Amino acid sequence: MKSIGSRITLWYAITVTATLACLFIAGHFLLDRYLIKQLDELNEAQFKHLKATLGRDYAKLTPPEIDDRIRQATESASSLFYIDMHGPMTNRFFKSSNLHGQSIPDIAGERAYSIGIDTIGEVRVSEFQLAPFDVIVATPLAPVKDLMAGYRQVFFGLLGTALVISVAVGYGLSRLILHPVRVIQATANRIRSDDLSQRIPVGDVKDEIAQLSAFLNQMFDRLEMSFSEIRRFAAEASHELKTPMSLVALHAERLLVSDGLTPQQMDSVAVILEELGRVNRIIDELLFLSRADAGAVLVELRAQAPAALLSAFGQDASALAEHSGKVFAWSHRGEGEVNIDGPRIRQVLLNLLTNALRVSPPGGVIYVDSTLASGTWRVSMVDEGPGLTPEECERIFERFVRLPSPGQDQRGSGLGLAICRSIVAMHKGKIWATSLDVGRGLRVVIEIPAAPAA
C-alpha cells in the first residue's frame, strides 16, 4: 500500500482485532477453568451433603441402609450428579440409578478429572475419602461445553464486528491524523513559480507537523526571495538591454544600406538583424512577464460577444493556416457577452494558433470550439499534431520550456504559453492542455468567467 492513510487504517485494524482476539482467547481459557472449578466445588458440596446424610455412624450401617439413605438424599438431584461409592477391594456399596449399572472410572492418583462415560457423555469427576469408603461424585460437562461453544460463537461474531468497526475508526483516525499533511500538500500544489505568496498554516499545537510546516514556510520564504531577485534582475536586465540592442540594430541597418559591403558581408549583417529582432522579442516577452508578476499589466475589460471576436480572429487565422498548408475552422454556441480585453485574448489565440500550425501535418485541421454557458466562456483549440504526455501537458505553460518536435523549428523562446497563462489569469480564468480526449493531437482549453471580473 502506497498510501500512508491505508497503512494506518490496516495496522490499526490489525492491532485492535489482534488485541481483542488475545483477550477473548485468554477469557476463554479463564472462563473454562473457572467453570470447571465451580463443578469441582459443586461436587464437593454434594459430597458434604452425602456425608451429613449418612451421619456419624455411617461405618456401622449395612449396605442396604447406606443405599437407602443416599438414594433418598440424591433422588431429587439425579439429573445433576452421578454417585459411585465403593469400599476396600472395590466392593460397591452404592451406584446412582442414572449410571444404569455402569461404574465411574477411577484414575489412580487423580482427585479431580474429566472423563467420558458411554451413554452418559463427558463428566467432571471428584473423588473423596470417607474411610473406609471411596466416594466418587460426577457432574455432566455438557452445560459447560455448551456455554463455551456459545462463548466461541459470540467471540467470532464480536471479532468480525470489531474488525469492521476498527477499519472504519482507523480510516477516520488516519484522515484526522493526516489532515495537516493534506493541508501541506494542498498548499504546496498552489505554490508555483508565478505565485510564491502561499504559506502553510501552522497550528497552535507545537508538534512535529507544526515544526515541519514552519520549516517549509521558511524554505518558501527563501524561495520567494530568490525568485523575486531573479525576476527583478530579469526585468532590469531586459530594460537595460533595450537601448544597446537598439543601437546595435541601428548600426547594422546603416551598414546594410551602405555600398561598401560585399554580398557575403551583407548576408552576415542581415543575419545579425534577424537575430537582434529575435532577441528583442524575447526581451519584450520577459518584460511583459515581469510586469505581469508585479501586477503592473492592466487589462481593459469590456463586454464583448465571443462570436464577434472569433469571427474577426477566424479571418486572420484562416489566412495564416492557408499560408502554411493547413485548414482552420471554428464554431460558437451560446448567446451573451463576456468581460474581456479583446487584444489580449486575441494575442492568446494567435499564440496557440502559431503552436498548432507548427506541429500539425500538411493538410491538418485546427479547430476552435467556443461555448458560452452557465456563466463561463469556454474555448478549446484542437490540432492534429503528435500530442503530448500528461507530464508534458503540465510543463508546457512553464517559462523557457520547449518540447522537442521532430522536423520543427526549435528556436522559440519558450515564453509564449507562459504569457498566455498570465493573460488568462488576469481575466480570472484558467488554461490547460490535454491529449487524453482527442486521440491524436492536443487540446488547449481556456475558461473565463462570464461575470464581470474585478
Q: What is the pLDDT of residues 55-80, one digit of tens each?
A: 877 777 777 777 777 777 666 666 78
Region 275-281: mean pLDDT is: 82
In 57-170 the beta strands, taken as DSSP E runs, fall at: 82-86, 92-95, 112-117, 121-130, 133-140
Residue 192 pLDDT > 70 = no
CA 319 to chain centre: 50
Q: What ranges do the domains of the chain cover?
A: 4-147, 208-293, 302-449
Residues 6 or more apart in contact with residue 226 via CB below 8 angstroms: none
Q: Are 331 and 313 in contact (CB under 8 A)?
A: no
Q: In the structure grid, which three cell numbers stand for residue 274, read together?
A: 534577424
- Distances in Å between the alpha carbon of 416 and those of 191, 350, 351, 381? 21, 10, 7, 16
Residue 17 pLDDT > 60 = yes
Q: Is the peptide bond before 64 cis (omega within 30 degrees of 0)?
A: no
Which CATH number is associated with domain 4-147? 3.30.450
For 340, the enclosing helix (H) or strand (E) is strand 338-340
332/335 Cα distance (integer angstroms): 9
How far is it between the farthest Cα atoms of the chain?
158
Residues 86-97 have pLDDT tens digits of 776 556 667 887
The DSSP bridge pattern shows strands 327-333 and 365-373 to be: parallel
Window from 182-186, 219-223, 225-229 with minimum mean pLDDT: 225-229
Output the average pLDDT for the chain: 84
Is the CATH number of domain 208-293 1.10.287.130?
yes
Q: Are 352 and 444 in contact (CB under 8 A)?
A: yes
Residue 392 pLDDT > 70 = yes
CA nearest neighbour of 370 among 318, 313, 412: 313
Residue 47 pLDDT > 50 = yes
427/418 Cα distance (integer angstroms): 15
What phi and psi values does residue 148 have, to the nearest 5 degrees?
-70, -35
pLDDT at 453: 45
Q: In the structure grid, which three cell numbers stand for residue 368, read together?
A: 476552435
Q: Is the peptide bond before 343 cis (omega within 30 degrees of 0)?
A: no
Q: Are 331 and 370 in contact (CB under 8 A)?
A: yes
Asked if 4-147 and 208-293 have one fold, the answer is: no
CA dihedral 18→24→26→30, nearest 10 degrees, is 180
Q: Are 92 and 86 in contact (CB under 8 A)?
A: yes
Angle at 131 between CA 127 and CA 132, to 5 degrees: 105
pLDDT at 454: 44
Residue 401 pLDDT > 50 = yes
3-class secondary-structure state, position 86 = strand
Residue 296 pLDDT > 90 = no
3-class secondary-structure state, position 234 = helix
Region 79-83: mean pLDDT is: 82
Which CATH number is associated with domain 302-449? 3.30.565.10
422/430 Cα distance (integer angstroms): 9
221/196 Cα distance (integer angstroms): 8
| Sign of the CA dihedral running 341, 344, 348, 354 | positive
